[in-house]
Amino acid sequence: MDLQNFLNLYRSRQRFIWTVVLTVMLITTALSLVQSLKYRSTLRLLVVQDSSTTTDTYAVMRSTEYLSKILAKVSYSTSFADRVLTDNPNIDRAYFGNTSQQLSKRWQSSLVVMAINETGIIEINGFHPNRDQAEKIARGVGARLISANTDYHGLGTAVKIKLLDDPITSNYPVRPNLLVNLFLALVVGLISSFAWIYLRRTAEFEQETYVNYNHNSDLSQPNMEDKPSISESFQPEADELLPWTENFEPEARIQDLLRQ
C-alpha cells in the first residue's frame, strides 16, 4: 500500500479509526486508575572485590559483575524479604500479607533490583503507595545487602558493598505510568483499526472477484435447454426416407425369396 492509498483509506474511515483509538485509550485509562498509585525510591550500591590476591583485573571485573547479578536475584526471595522486614520494623509488614505466597507476590511487585552491566553497581527501586514506605523498603534492602552479603556468596570478606547514592524518592506516583500507557493505547488503537479495515477490504475484494468470476462463467456457457438432444438431431425427415422403404412389406418379400 503506497502513501496515497494509505491517505485515501484514512480519509474514508477516519471516524471509525478515531472511535477505536479513543475507546482503547479510555479502557486503558480506566484500568490504570483502578490500580493503586505507587511512589518510587531509588538507591545505588557498589560491589567491590579485593584484588590484592590476583593481578588479573579482567577476571576481578567479571567476578564483580557476576556477584552483582547474584545479589540482585537473591533480593527477590521470600527469605531475603522476611529478613528485611524483621530488621526494619518501621516497614509496614501488614502490607505484604500473612502467608508466604502473599509475601512473595507483594514483595516482587514492590521491588526492582538491577545489576548494571560491567560496572558492579546495583540499583534498588522500592515501590509503595506511601512515599515514606517506598524509601524505607529501598533502604532496608540496601542495608541488608551491605551488612549480610556474605550469606549469599562464598568469598567472605573479600567482597564489600558500599552505598553509592542515598535514596531518591519521587514526589509523585510513578506507577502506573499513565503517559506511557496512553501512548501504547494510541499505537495499539491505530494498528488494530487499520488492520481491521485492511482485512475487511481484502475480504470484500475477494468476494467481489468471486461473484464476477461466477457471473462471467455463466455467460460463457451455452444454454443446453435450447439445443436439441442427440437423438432428436439425428431423426430423419419424412422426405429423406429411401424410396423402397415406403411400400416395404416384410412377409411378401420373404415369399419371393423362397420361390427363387
CATH at residue 135: 3.30.70
Tell whether 41 and 114 lie within a shared domain. yes
Say if 5 falls within a structural domain.
no
Tell whether 100 and 48 lie within a shared domain. yes
Domain boundary at 111, 140, 169, which? 169
Say if 251 falls within a structural domain.
no
Report the candidate in 134, 181, 258 with the shortest Cα–Cα distance to residue 25.
181
Torsion from C-alpha of 141, 149, 163, 104, nearest 10 degrees: -20
Q: Which residues pair with 168 in a beta bridge?
A: 42
Say if 247 falls within a structural domain.
no
> What is the gyration radius of the CA atoms in the chain, in angstroms?
44
Say if 108 falls within a structural domain.
yes
Tell whether 145 and 41 lie within a shared domain. yes
Tell whether 73 and 96 lie within a shared domain. yes
Tell whether 52 and 162 lie within a shared domain. yes
Q: What is the pLDDT of residues 156-183, one digit of tens each?
A: 888 999 999 999 999 999 988 888 889 9
Say if 56 falls within a structural domain.
yes
Tell whether 60 and 131 lie within a shared domain. yes
Tell whether 196 and 75 lie within a shared domain. no
| % of the chain exceeding 70 in pLDDT | 75
Using the predicted structure, report yes or no on whether residue 130 has a pLDDT greater than 60: yes
pLDDT band at 244 (very low <50, low <70, confident <90, very high): very low
CB-CB contact of 135 with 169 (8 Å): yes
Say if 152 falls within a structural domain.
yes
Mean pLDDT, rounded, for 206-223: 62
Q: Which structural domain range is residue 201 located in?
A: 179-214
Tell whether 112 and 210 lie within a shared domain. no
Q: What is the pLDDT of residues 82-103, one digit of tens each?
A: 999 999 999 999 999 989 999 9
Tell whether 152 and 51 lie within a shared domain. yes
Domain boundary at 169, 196, 230, which? 169
Q: What is the pLDDT of residues 17-73, one digit of tens each?
A: 888 889 998 998 888 788 889 999 999 999 998 877 666 777 888 888 999 999 999
Tell whether 204 and 114 lie within a shared domain. no
Say if 148 falls within a structural domain.
yes
Q: What is the pLDDT of residues 247-259, one digit of tens each?
A: 545 555 555 555 5
Q: What is the structure's pLDDT at 55?
A: 63
Tell whether 104 and 207 lie within a shared domain. no
Give the residue carrying C-alpha cell 429423406.
Answer: 240
State the total domains in the chain.
2
Say if 14 falls within a structural domain.
no
Tell whether 154 and 56 lie within a shared domain. yes
CB-CB contact of 173 with 38 (8 Å): yes
C-alpha 105/C-alpha 110 separation (Å) is 9
Sheet holding 111-116, edge to edge: 111-116, 121-128, 39-49, 159-169
Omega cis (within 30) before 236: no
C-alpha 179/C-alpha 193 separation (Å) is 21
Q: What is the structure's pLDDT at 90?
A: 95
Domain boundary at 113, 143, 169, which? 169
Q: What is the pLDDT of residues 229-238, one digit of tens each?
A: 555 554 555 5
